[in-house]
Amino acid sequence: MNQMPAELPDAEPDERLKAIFARTVEKMKEVVREFEITQDELHVAGDYFNRLGQSGFCRSLIDVALAMTSVDVTARVPGGTRPNLEGPFYRAAPLREDGDLFAGDPPPGTPVLHLSGRVTDAATGAPIPGAIVDLWQADHDGHYDLDDLQLFGRVRADEEGRYRARTAVPKDYSDHDHDPIGELFRAMGRHNRRAAHIHVKIWEGEHCLLTTQLFVPGNPYLDSDYVEGAVSDDLLIGMKPADSGVADEYEAVFDFAVSRTSR
């Protein structure tokens, strides 16, 4: 049986932790007073957090509620593309020399998206030649293909920082249907869906200069994405029917401005 040591080792007090804990408790006291929360209700919350911890999804709930606030106050670059969360599905994907994220022809009924744009230095406006645009996304059924990495791929920008990729128009999808996070959202009568999005990392050599997400205009969950603050107008792709006139083909332009000094 494990026992507490008779004396805990001396450690320097963590003043930042101390201040954050005190402020958090003070803010939560306000909530207890405002809603006149009973001890029984506090214990229901405690039991919930115990189950959440056992499920391994504490980090995910913190991300859902607070991570975008953290990103906005700690990771934004003046004049740069707004960063966004990486999410759980990032995989090292192959370089797609032809820019095609489909392995073979798109499945029947898949709306095809031609995504293009430029990668530039946020500080100078200069293009970043050879930047890697690393894309991953759900398909038009809201499914990530983690086995075959369909719709996962890296494309290389040219000497003028221009990139081009062919992919699918992604669909919204639900997360955490079968764990305590989904349970919490159901109890509140809220959905647990992500607005349709495309994940992106911008690389220069070994350095990741940006992690973000692009959103599909017109998606019904843009205003209620269950990840607080994830969606913003500046991350919407300007999607329109492709000039080719091919049915169910779309094109969109999105330019990335990234910091080369924050790496």
**Which residues of the shown chain bind Fe ion in the complex (CB under 5 A)?**
87
Helix, strand, coil percentages in the chain from 3-state DSSP, rounded to 5:
25, 25, 50
Which is closer to Fe ion, CB of 37 or CB of 93? 93
Least distance (Å) between residue 131 CB and Fe ion? 22
In SS3 terms, 140-163 reads as CCCCCCCCCCCCEEEEECCCCCEE
Contact 85, 213 (CB under 8 A): yes
Closer residue to Fe ion in complex, CB, 83/87? 87
- Amino acid, res. 93: A
In the bound complex, what is the minimum distance in angstroms from residue 60's beta carbon to Fe ion?
A: 12
Q: Which is nearer to Fe ion, 111 or 130 (CB)?
A: 111
**Least separation, in Å, of the C-beta of 76 and Fe ion?**
20
Please, what's the largest Cα pairwise distance for the chain?
A: 76
CA distances from 95 to 6, 135, 152, 153, 230 (A): 56, 10, 9, 6, 27
Q: Which is nearer to Fe ion, 57 or 118 (CB)?
A: 57
CB of residue 175 vs Fe ion: minimum separation in angstroms? 8
Q: Which residue is nearest to Fe ion (CB)?
A: 87
Tokens of 184: 């919490």
